[in-house]
A and B are shown apart, each in its own frame.
Chain A
Amino acid sequence: MAMKFEKTGEGAYMLDVCGYVCPHPQIYCKKSLEKMNEGDVVEVILDNPSSVETITQMCEQVGHEVLDKKTEGGKIYMKIKKG
């Protein structure tokens, strides 16, 4: 298990924090967004349900946009656009 933060294209990133429990997913998500430019999009992959609640509220408060959220095979995929 290792955290992965990769640049997947121009202005596109992927953060994989599967296996991690609170508070790691939300901390890594916040830090990833801090490293990105406005308008960039990150796909966050996680499997800790309570972190999703926190990340969603964090985005709403700060002004990031959650473009998509889906669950597949026990993993949660969130697409977030930095605001």
Chain B
Amino acid sequence: MADQENNKKGQIWAFLITGIVILISLLYYKANIYYMYLVAYMWFGFAYGMMLQYGRFCFASASRDLFAAGVPRMAVGILVALIFFSLIQATLASTNMSTFHPAPFGIHTLISGMIFGVGMVLAGGCASGSLYKIGEGNGTSFLAAFFGLCIGQAVFVDVKWFNFLIPQKWVDSALAKGLPADKMTSSFDTYLAGYVWNQPTLQMSHTKAISDAFPGALKYFVGDSLLNALIPATVLLIVIYWVWIRKGFMKKRAKQKGGATGFGDELAGLWNMITASKRTTLMGVLIGIVAGLHIFVMKGLQIKFGVGNFGQLLTRMGHTGDVSIRGTVFDPGYWYITSQEGQLGAWILEKFGWNMRDNIFFGINNGLPEPWRNPALWMSLGIIFGAMAMARLNNEFKFKLPKGELIAWGLIGGLLMGWGSRPALGCNIGAFFIRVAGGDPSGWLYGIGMVGGAFIGVKFFNWWSERKMAKEMEAF
């Protein structure tokens, strides 16, 4: 009886949340048709949130649960999503409907991934994972997202604290770019203009070898999808099966069959691993497809409105204070987390008198729109709303205030995620998932760093929990 009542309450809440998102959409539509661009981001965010929550989809748990509990559920889900997303990315690129662009390739990507990897394990969720967990009522995730991704990230790009790490040649190279002096004041600015921008970008389909061998649309399918995503993802699935699953599965299989096992059993084992958590794998497929559709819709809206960035629409509407000196705002055109949280952090800090526009990140590249006119921020809010609706539907919403050690882990982890996402210009989504599927090998570099960082984080938690268990067991 109580369960039925809770189910009904959950359903009402889910309808209420969805109704609020519909109402917001209608208000924006009434204000100006250009805001449909922003509304599209919000609804894709809503869809991501629902899928992430239902599939318990979190990039942190992909490597963390492998190392901590030997469970490959999430790693499999992500690789499945990657496979589907890369195929759609290739289709969109071949029809000139992709918004993807590769990132500068260098060792900074690996280091950045590693810092982020430690952070996401400590915080208990990756960038998008933290957002969907806020939707479940998780206070630790809120701490990580607010103080780490929002405030921590904004401070990181605006301070001079890291000047001691900057070599003179970066300073010289940055100055040679001729950027306005009042927009290049922080350590991160010198790093960006003096180092990152000098690094090459690499997209498999655009390499000479691939474009010569596979002219036309085929280069996207072979170079970007097959070589950069499908083959590595399949190899990783086999490695995960071999290291974590095979022994136990084959033992069970041999017992069932009462004898020797063969190649067919190996394939069955691999399939069993992929389908072990149906909800995660199913959401992996859906997330891959929706992420592709998201690119298609954003590109379609850009064509419809005749723009390449939402900043142009803001300018047309007269909101010139929102945009950077290039007339742009942060508008990735696909699933992306972290930069928009940094913008929210900067917006808050500005209210306390901090000049946040005297740097490249906000002043030249991403602008600093009011939060209600920030397209990517609406995607993040959409994720929270979508996850909340799904959690309410499944009676899994619960306010959990962060207490004790979780406050420390949330804050430290959030800060490391914020700081770890900036040097590589993205997080687990923007720097790993999107890049790998788009044919940019630097995505794998970030992924390797992220897994390495997660390993360190898990080692630390193992040591920590072992200490606590020993204390608990003193009593018996």
Q: What is the interface of chain A, defined by CB distance below 8 A to chain B?
A: 1-7, 19-24, 26-32, 35, 47, 49-50, 53-55, 57-58, 60-63, 71, 74
B240 to chain A minimum Cβ distance, whole angstroms, is 12
Name A30's closest neighbour in chain B (CB-CB).
Answer: B69
**Among B25-33, B286-294, B397-405, which stretch is in contact with chain A?**
B397-405
Contacts of B458 in A (CB 8 A): 23
Contacts of B468 in A (CB 8 A): 3, 28
Rounded to whole angstroms, the CA-CA distance of A30 and B462 in the bound complex is 10
Rounded to whole angstroms, the CA-CA distance of A63 and B452 in the bound complex is 28
Q: What is the interface of chain B, defined by CB distance below 8 A to chain A?
A: 56, 58, 60-61, 64-65, 68-71, 73, 121, 124-125, 133, 136, 138, 140-141, 244-245, 248, 276-277, 279-280, 391, 394-396, 398, 400, 403-404, 406, 458, 461-462, 465-466, 468-469, 472-473, 475-476
State whether A3 and B403 are in contact (beta carbons under 8 Å apart), knowing that A27-B461, A57-B71, A58-B69 are contacts in the complex.
no
Contacts of A2 in B (CB 8 A): 404
Contacts of A19 in B (CB 8 A): 400, 403, 406
Name the residue among B124, B277, B472, B473 with the largest chain A CB count within 10 angstroms. Answer: B472
- Pick from B248, B403, B469: contact of A31, CB below 8 A: B469
Contacts of B245 in A (CB 8 A): 61
Interface class of chain A by DSSP: helix
Rounded to whole angstroms, the CA-CA distance of A62 and B244 in the bound complex is 10
Rounded to whole angstroms, the CA-CA distance of A7 and B474 in the bound complex is 11
Q: A1, B404: Cβ atoms under 8 Å?
A: yes
Interface class of chain B by DSSP: helix
Q: A47, B473: Cβ atoms under 8 Å?
A: no
Contacts of B133 in A (CB 8 A): 21
List 26 A-B residue pairs with CB atoms under 8 Å apart, sorted by A's residue number.
A2-B404, A3-B472, A5-B469, A6-B472, A7-B476, A21-B141, A22-B61, A22-B125, A23-B65, A26-B65, A26-B69, A30-B68, A32-B469, A35-B469, A49-B136, A49-B394, A50-B58, A53-B277, A54-B61, A54-B73, A55-B69, A58-B69, A58-B71, A61-B244, A61-B248, A63-B248
Q: Count A-B contacts at CB 8 Å.
A: 107
Name B248's closest neighbour in chain A (CB-CB).
Answer: A61
Q: A27, B71: Cβ atoms under 8 Å?
A: no
Q: B398, A74: Cβ atoms under 8 Å?
A: yes
Q: A23, B469: Cβ atoms under 8 Å?
A: no
Name A53's closest neighbour in chain B (CB-CB).
Answer: B56
Contacts of B394 in A (CB 8 A): 49
Q: B461, A24: Cβ atoms under 8 Å?
A: yes
Contacts of A7 in B (CB 8 A): 475-476
Rounded to whole angstroms, the CA-CA distance of A5 and B474 in the bound complex is 10
Contacts of A71 in B (CB 8 A): 395
- Pick from A1, A6, A31, A50: contact of B465, CB below 8 A: A31
Name A31's closest neighbour in chain B (CB-CB).
Answer: B469
Q: B64, A22: Cβ atoms under 8 Å?
A: yes
State whether A57 and B469 are in contact (beta carbons under 8 Å apart), knowing that A22-B58, A24-B461, A27-B69 are contacts in the complex.
no
Q: A26, B472: Cβ atoms under 8 Å?
A: no
B293 to chain A minimum Cβ distance, whole angstroms, is 25
- Pick from B69, B73, B124, B396: contact of A21, CB below 8 A: B124
Q: B277, A57: Cβ atoms under 8 Å?
A: yes
Name B394's closest neighbour in chain A (CB-CB).
Answer: A49
Q: A23, B403: Cβ atoms under 8 Å?
A: no
Contacts of B64 in A (CB 8 A): 22-23
Rounded to whole angstroms, the CA-CA distance of A24 and B245 in the bound complex is 22
Rounded to whole angstroms, the CA-CA distance of A19 and B141 in the bound complex is 12
Name the residue among B73, B276, B280 with the largest chain A CB count within 10 angstroms. Answer: B73
Contacts of B138 in A (CB 8 A): 21
Q: A21, B71: Cβ atoms under 8 Å?
A: no
Q: A22, B124: Cβ atoms under 8 Å?
A: yes
